[in-house]
Structure 1
Amino acid sequence: MTTIVPARPPGAVSLADVLPSVLAALTGGVGAVPLPPARSAVVLLVDGLGSAALGARRGHARHLAGASGSLFSGFPTTTAAALTTFTTGRLPGEHGLVGYSVLDAERDRVVKQLSGWDAGMRPDTWQLSGTVFEDAAARGVRSAAVGPARYARSGLTEAILRGAAYETAESIADRFRRARDLVAAPGATIVYLYVPELDMIAHRLGWQSDEWTAALEEVDGEVGRLAASLGPDEGLLVTADHGVLDVGERGRIVFGHRAALVDGVRHVAGEPRCLQLHFEPDASEAVRAATLEAWRAAESDRAWVVTREEAVQGGWFGPVDPVVAPRIGDVLVAARKGVVWYDGRTSGGQAGSMIGQHGSWSGDETQVPLRRFGAFAR
Structure 2
Amino acid sequence: MENWNSRFPGAAWPDYQGGGLLNLMQTLSLELGGPDLGHAPLDSEVLAGIGRHRHVCLLLVDGLGEAQLRRLGPNSRLAALRRRSLSSVFPPTTAAAVTTVLTGQPPSVHGLIGWHQLHGEEIIAPLPLYVRHPADSASAAQQLADSLFCAPPLFEHFARPAFLMLPADIAHSPCTRHHAGSCLRLPYRDSADAFAQLSARLSSPAPAFHYLYLRQLDAQMHATGPDSPQAQQALAELDDELGRLLEEARQCDAAVVAIADHGFTAAPAAQWVDVDADQELYGLLARPLSGETRMAYCHVKPGCVERFLALAEARLGHACWPARSAELLAAGVYGPGPAHPDLARRCGDVVLIAKPGWNLRDTLPGERVFLEAGMHAGVHPDEMAVPLMAWRP
Scaled by the length of structure 2, the TM-score of the pair is: 0.85
What does 1:238-277 correspond to in 2, within 5 Å?
238-265=258-285, 266-277=287-298
Give 2:7's aligned residue.
4
Aligned-pair CA distance for 1:290: 0.5
**1:256 aligned counterpart, secondary structure:** helix
Give 1:306's aligned residue.
323
Distance in 2 of aligned mates of 1:346 and 1:362: 31
| 2:381 is the counterpart of 1:374 | no
What does 1:315-330 correspond to in 2, within 5 Å?
315-318=332-335, 319=337, 320-330=339-349
Give 2:135's aligned residue.
none
Unaligned runs of 5+ in 1: none
Q: Which has the higher mean CA deviation after the structures are superposed, 186-195 or 120-129?
A: 120-129
Give 1:87's aligned residue.
102
| 2:235 is the counterpart of 1:216 | yes
Q: Which amino acid aligns with 2:312?
A: W
Distance in 2 of aligned mates of 1:121 and 1:78: 24
**1:215 aligned counterpart, secondary structure:** helix
| 2:114 is the counterpart of 1:111 | no
What does 1:82-231 correspond to in 2, within 5 Å?
82-105=97-120, 108-116=121-129, 118-119=140-141, 121-136=143-158, 139=159, 141-230=160-249, 231=251
**2:118 aligned counterpart, secondary structure:** strand
Note if contact 1:247-1:338 (Cα within 8 Å) is conserved in structure 2: yes
Distance in 2 of aligned mates of 1:344 and 1:126: 24
Aligned-pair CA distance for 1:29: 10
Note if contact 2:202-2:252 (Cα within 8 Å) is conserved in structure 1: no
**1:226 aligned counterpart, secondary structure:** helix
CA deviations over 1:308-337 (Å, ceiling 9, x no partner): 211101112123222332122221111131
Q: Which amino acid aligns with 2:77?
A: H
Q: Which amino acid aligns with 1:272?
A: T
CA deviations over 1:199-252 (Å, ceiling 9, x no partner): 111111112222211110111011112123214732100111111111111111
Aligned-pair CA distance for 1:20: 3.7
Distance in 2 of aligned mates of 1:77 and 1:159: 22
Q: Which amino acid aligns with 1:289?
A: E
Give 1:365's aligned residue.
383
Note if contact 1:22-1:41 (Cα within 8 Å) is conserved in structure 2: no
- Pick closer, same or farther for the CA change 1:22–1:188 going to 2, 3 Å: farther
Unaligned runs of 5+ in 2: 131-139
What does 1:20-35 correspond to in 2, within 5 Å?
20-27=26-33, 31-32=41-42, 34=45, 35=47
Aligned-pair CA distance for 1:172: 0.8
Aligned-pair CA distance for 1:128: 1.8
Aligned mate of 2:23, from 14, 17, 20: 17
Q: Which amino acid aligns with 2:154?
A: V
Note if contact 1:254-1:351 (Cα within 8 Å) is conserved in structure 2: no
| 2:86 is the counterpart of 1:71 | yes
- Pick closer, same or farther for the CA change 1:147–1:294 going to 2, 3 Å: same
Note if contact 1:19-1:132 (Cα within 8 Å) is conserved in structure 2: no
